[in-house]
Structure 1
Amino acid sequence: MSSPKPNPSSSAEQRSDGSQPWLHQKGRTIQEFGTVKQFPVALTMETRLYSCQRLNKVLADTRILHDLYKKYHWLMRGATFYQLHLLLDKHAGEQLELIDTVAERVQTLGGVAVGDPRHVAEITTVPRPPDGVEEVPSMLSRLLEAHELILTECHDAAARTQEYGDDGTNDLLVSEVVRTNELQAWFVAEHLVDTPLIHA
Structure 2
Amino acid sequence: MAVQAVLFDAKTTTTLVNLLNQALADTIDLAYQTKQAHWNVKGSNFYALHLLFDSLYTQLSTFVDELAERTVTMGGQALGTVRVAGQKSRLEEYPLDAKDSTTHVKALVARFQGYTKNVREAIHKAEELEDQDTADLFTSVSRAMDKALWMLRAHLEVA
For the criterion TM > 0.5, the same-fold answer is yes
The secondary structure found in structure 1 opposite 2:155 is helix
Greater RCO, 1 or 2 (C-alpha within 8 Å, sep 6+): 2
Provide the C-alpha distance between the structure 2 equivalents of 1:43 and 1:119, rounded to a whole number of angstroms: 26
- Structure showing greater Rg: 1
Contact 2:95 2:107 in 1 (8 A): no
Query: Which residue number corresponds to residue 145 of structure 2?
Result: 181
Query: Cα RMSD over matched residues?
Result: 1.4
Distance 1:106 1:153 in 2: 17
Tell whether the 8 Å contact from 1:47 to 1:166 is kept in structure 2 after alignment: no
Q: How many residues align?
A: 158
When you count helix as a share of all residues, which structure comes out higher? Answer: 2
Find out whether 1:137 has 2:96 as its counterpart.
no
Q: Residue 87 of structure 1 is aligned with which of 37, 43, 52?
A: 52
Cα shift readout 1:162-189 (whole Å, capped 9, x = no counterpart): 1111111111001x21011111111001
The list of structure 1 runs, each at least 4 consecutive aligned residues, that deviate by more than 4 angstroms after superposition, is: none
Cα distance in 2 for partners of 1:185, 1:130 equals 19
1:136 is displaced (CA, Å) by 2.1
Partner of residue 13 from structure 2, selected from 39, 48, 56: 48
Structure 2: gaps of 5 or more residues: none
TM-score by length of 2: 0.92
Residue identity over aligned pairs, in percent, reads 27
Q: Secondary structure at the match of 2:36?
A: helix
- Within 5 A, what are the aligned runs for 1:18-167? 39-167=4-132
Letter in 1 for 2:142: V
| SS of 2:8 mapped into structure 1 | coil
For residues 40 and 136 of structure 1, do their structure 2 counterparts lie closer, same or farther at Cα, with a shift above 3 Å needed? closer
